Amino acid sequence: MQKHRLAQAVLALAACAVFGHVAAEASPQSQYQSAINSPARTDDDRKSDAKRKPAEFLAFVEAKPGMKVMDLDAGGGTSSALLAAAVGPDGEVWAQGQKESPKLQARIASGKQSNLHAVVTPMDNPVAKGTPPLDLVVINMNYHDVVNTPADRNAMNKRIYDALKPGGKYVVIDNSAKAGHGLSDTKTLHRIDETSVIDEVTKAGFKVDAKSDYLRAPSDPREQPFWEMKDKPDDKFAVRFVK
């Protein structure tokens, strides 16, 4: 009887250990909150949190520890730093730009995130030779800016496709133009039609994996640049593609 009870206790403890391990893996929200609270993020980064919704962003891009990530047209690295915190020390983030960003260079020089790297490459060939296969590529509110450059977007999207691992994700988040406006508002309103982005990206071989409404604002008439909306919410779309 004592042996039977001992065996039951051992099994119960093992079950608790397994359950606890699974529960921890199934709760990424705590990891996202830790990334949002990272001391590597600056006060300027945090000022944009109310509009950019970093927890929802990390959940939609499916950021996980250990991932290899590229943040396209990264600017000063606000999204890059958040992603670097989310993928942790076993992951890496490449913050890509067409020219050096003093703000990004200062961020990296601080030494707070050794897994964050700056790369300067053209937009139509954004993934530098020697970069390991990627799990995720993100372009956050800048696809419309690429339209306003001479860059070959077909070449860009194909290079991203080739750089991703099988099953890798490519996430495009941008300012919404009116349906049917295509690329006509990219210079004047800095907005782009979601359908046009989907058409271009899927030509490279990607499939739409998911869409999210976390930045949607149905009240936005989509007739002004987003920075002229003042305190009114501006509409943005988020599309996740998969290789």
CA distances, 3 to each of 6, 15, 17 (Å):
5, 18, 21
CA distance 20 to 12: 12
Residue 188 confidence (pLDDT): 97
**Residue linked to tokens 């002229």:** 228
What are the residue ranges of helices labelled H in 88-222?
A: 102-109, 143-147, 153-163, 194-203
DSSP 26: T
The helix/strand count (H/E) of the chain reads as 10, 7
CA distances, 216 to each of 61, 79, 227 (Å):
16, 19, 16
CA distance 133 to 243: 12
Q: What b/e sequence results for 95-127 when a residue is b if at least 16 CB atoms lie within 10 Å of its CB, and e otherwise?
A: bbbeeebeebeebbeeebbebbbbeebebbebb
Residue 76 confidence (pLDDT): 96
The pLDDT tens digits along the chain (243 residues) read 444 443 444 334 343 443 344 334 546 789 999 999 999 999 999 999 999 999 999 999 999 999 999 999 999 999 999 999 999 999 999 999 999 999 999 999 999 999 999 999 999 999 999 999 999 999 999 999 999 999 999 999 999 999 999 999 999 999 999 999 999 999 999 999 999 999 999 999 999 999 999 999 999 999 999 899 888 999 999 999 999
CA distance 227 to 234: 9
Residue 27 confidence (pLDDT): 61
Which pTM was predicted?
A: 0.88
